[in-house]
Amino acid sequence: MLPCRLLASLAAASLVAMTSAATDFGYTTNADKYVISTGAGLTISMRQSTCDIVSINYNDKELQYKSMGTHVNSGLGSGTTSTIEALNDDKKTIHVNCKKTGLEQSYFFRPSENVVYMGTYHSKDLVLPELRFLARLDKAVMNQGILEATVESGMTAIEATDVMQNGEGITRSKYYSAVPFIDDAVHGVNSTAAGVYLVISEHGYETSRST
């Protein structure tokens, strides 16, 4: 019997731009936030209480959508505990660990790498209908995504809220990519400000084990 147990390994959100404005690599704690700088222009702010990413600032340009955070599912929410530390490796990798019953999320940051490495562990102690990572970016800034997946104002829902239609009968779906998900190892959006991509390694897919 499979007890709904999975291990998802590393993924990366990689940011690329034409210019770079660097600050020193490291982290600070500020009120309820962890603030991590890669030293190469990327600064990430996360809530200590929920581990929601609330700011993705690249070269002084804010990429994060302000009304909602970037997180696993709808966020870890209440009951989350978190820690931040510099690991004892040659890069002094910064590790943010976030836990609640049945779910553990880790983020890793390395100096001069504009990458957020992520690992997710989900056990049978928390029943979930699905497990996904939602990167919520500011569409006004990150404005060059997949056209067929871009939902615009004035559209109406024709299949729950997954498929939308405009007045000319043109449909869009936020899930559209034209690539089966199992083959979609790199996906993202870009603009003149940056490119933001989720990169899934060969170790980054769901696995289960029996007990």
Closest CA to 115 of 211, 31, 16, 192: 16
In tens, the pLDDT along 145-191 reads: 878 888 888 899 987 888 999 999 999 987 777 677 677 788 788 88
Rounded distance between C-alpha atoms, residue 198 and residue 189, angstroms: 9
Is 72 within 8 Å of 132 (Cβ atoms)? Answer: yes
CATH of 6-143+191-200, one of 2.70.98.10, 1.10.260.30, 3.40.190.10, 1.10.3720.10: 2.70.98.10
Structure token pair of residue 6? 């999975």
Residue with tokens 């084990």: 209
Query: Is pLDDT of 128 > 50?
Result: yes
Residue ranges per structural domain of the chain:
6-143+191-200, 145-179
| Range in 6-15, 49-58, 152-161 with the lowest mean pLDDT | 6-15
Measured CA distances, 173 to 72, 117, 139, 161, 169 (Å): 21, 28, 15, 9, 13
In tens, the pLDDT along 142-155 reads: 888 878 888 888 89
Question: What's this model's pTM, rounded to 2 decimal places?
Answer: 0.81
Round the average pLDDT of the chain to a whole number and report it: 83
